[in-house]
Amino acid sequence: MKFTKRKHSCVWLEKDGRTLVLDPGGFSEDDAAVGADAVLVTHEHPDHFDEGRLRAGLDANPAAELWAPRSVSERMAAAYPGRVHTVGHGDTFTAAGFDIQVHGELHAVIHPDIPRVANSGYLIDGAVFHPGDALTVPEVPVDTLMLPVMAPWSRIADVIDYLRELKPRRAYDVHDVLLTDVARPLYDGLLGSMGGGVEHGRLAPGGSLEL
């Protein structure tokens, strides 16, 4: 499949002429969901779920469908009857020709005073895992990890330990819009040298490669 990095946590995966879009949020491009045959949203926070961007994608393709936790699906279902699906941990389904498994239940702790929301991580074709805003470890091997590299809820130590525990073959940065250019070489060096031998890389928004 072809992997294209969009801004922040949004990624595009393409296979057999169909496109799967994950997390077209408020920090992503305005057209982040336009061109999607299916959209997966991990959770309700606005940097992952932007209703305007999502509507633009669903309106552009009347056959496009959405899978998301209930807090997102309930907000979209009335406008797109039959095209919006609620998911949770343990669910499996097919979207745009991709086989999807759902792993994880809750967003990582930002602060004890902030309620945790539902968060669904998606394992795609048994190989590519996008955890959303959690350091979920599926009970199956992961080949390629979309790595949430910088967030208010994590430290670099947490990210390093996640790589060591999950042990994917390779990891590419997502959740990175708040990471400055000054900090990127430092993060690259630490993740590359301390990530337990995991191949670590990052793409600029719009960059693509074959997985």
CATH superfamily of 2-210: Ribonuclease Z/Hydroxyacylglutathione hydrolase-like (3.60.15.10)
Angle at 151 between CA 148 and CA 152, to 5 degrees: 155
Q: What pLDDT does residue 207 have?
A: 97
Q: What pLDDT does residue 31 have?
A: 97
Q: In the predicted model, what is the mean pLDDT of the chain?
A: 97
Q: What pLDDT does residue 54 have?
A: 98
The strand pairing partners of 199, in sequence order, are 170
Backbone dihedral angles phi then psi of residue 149, each to the nearest 5 degrees: -85, -25
Over residues 181-203, the pLDDT tens digits come to 999 999 999 999 999 999 999 99
* Model pTM above 0.85: yes
Using an 8 Å Cβ cutoff, are 171 and 144 in contact?
yes
Burial level of 150, CB count in 10 A (0-12/13-18/19+)? buried
Q: What pLDDT does residue 179 have?
A: 94
Q: What pLDDT does residue 170 have?
A: 98
Q: Kindly give the pairing relationship between strand 121-124 and strand 65-68.
A: unpaired
Q: State the 10-residue block means of pLDDT for the chain, 211 residues long.
A: 98 98 98 98 98 98 98 97 98 98 98 97 98 97 98 96 97 96 94 96 96 94
Q: What pLDDT does residue 143 have?
A: 98
- Structural domain spans, the chain: 2-210
Of 153, 138, 148, 130, nearest to 191 by C-alpha is: 148
Three-state secondary structure of the chain: CEEEECCCCCEEEEECCEEEEECCCCCCCCCCCCCCCEEECCCCCCCCCCHHHHHHHHHHCCCCEEEECHHHHHHHCCCCCCCEEECCCCCEEEECCEEEEEECCECCCCCCCCCCCECCEEEECCCEEECCCCCCCCCCCCCEEEEECCCCCCCHHHHHHHHHHHCCCEEEEECCCCCCCCCHHHHHHHHHHHCCCCEEECCCCCCEEEC
Using an 8 Å Cβ cutoff, are 122 and 140 in contact?
no
Q: What pLDDT does residue 198 have?
A: 97
Q: What pLDDT does residue 57 have?
A: 98
